[in-house]
Amino acid sequence: MKRILVICNWLLVICHLTFAQSTFDAANAAYAEGRYDEAATLYQAIIDEQPNAQVYYNLGNTRFKQGELAQAILSYERALRLRPNYADAKYNLQFAQSRITDNTPEQDFFLLAWTRALRNSLSEHTWLVLSISLFIFGLVGILLFLLSRTLWLRKTAFHVAWLALLFSLVAGLNATSLHRRDTLRNEAIIVQGVVNAKSAPDRSGTDLFTVHEGTKVTIRETIGEWANIRVGQNEGWIRLQNMERI
């Protein structure tokens, strides 16, 4: 009975992969032939089943061809969430961002910007595996330091151990930060043409500044249908329906 269940599960997996591949091929063919609406629908169908960086990237290209700049940027951002070192997605994202009205990158303190770039250079899973591996390596170094009677080996083991544990901590913090980012999903893309940010979560609030389609914002908090956002040094309230979380 267990064998039958295993075989059935494998058959389901094979059928699912075959369907996904055939849909992906059909979407690529539709894109190549200029049938962008059809291609977008097929790519989205694959993503609904299983998010994939390559498919998000292709969907971003399709949205760009359709003239949907905000959706293209959103797709590239999602591709980079799944594969941080995706060079093509990075390039196309930068090109798409150069076409939006609010193309004003945040001016962070250089150390903060460097830290964020380091964190985003690898995926959460990779940072976690790296952290665990370095921690084990550090423990081995401690054991060598405690058990070895050779002076040079003890010194080497001591330095290797504290360095490994230090970098293990850094990797663990990066993994935790990425997990928090992806759990909270506090970054979003404006998907409406022009949005006025208010001084309060209410229509009667004073207009503080304007953000345009395709702008990336940070969500600080939400109240009902409103979100407090930050763009550069500006903060204000806009409706959640005007944005999509990355």
What is the 3 state secondary structure string of 87-145? HHHHHHHHHHHCCCCCCCCCCCCHHHHHHHHHHHCCCHHHHHHHHHHHHHHHHHHHHHH
Domain boundary among 97, 121, 142: 97
What tokens does 203 get?
Answer: 């229509």
pLDDT above 50 (res 160) = yes
What region, left, alpha or beta, does residue 10 occupy, with left being phi > 0 and alpha being psi -120 to 50 degrees? alpha
pLDDT above 70 (res 137) = yes
pLDDT recorded at residue 101:
76
State whether 26 and 87 are in the same domain.
yes
The tally of domains found in the chain comes to 3
Cα dihedral 63→65→69→74 (10° resolution): 30
Per-residue confidence band for 17, with pLDDT thresholds at 50, 70 and 90: very low
pLDDT above 60 (res 1) = no
Mean pLDDT across the chain = 89
Tell me the CATH number at 203.
2.30.30.40
Parent domain of 219: 187-245
State whether 161 and 210 are in the same domain.
no
- Residue 17 within a domain: yes
pTM: 0.79
What tokens does 104 get?
Answer: 């004003």
Mutual orientation of helices 110-120 and 151-184 as an angle, nearest 10°? 90
What value does the mean pLDDT take over residues 42-65? 96
pLDDT above 60 (res 10) = no
What value does the mean pLDDT take over residues 190-219? 93
- Residue 128 within a domain: yes
In contact, 210 and 195? CB cutoff 8 Å: yes
State whether 6 and 42 are in the same domain.
yes
Lowest mean pLDDT among 111-125, 136-150, 156-170: 111-125
Domain boundary among 45, 62, 97: 97
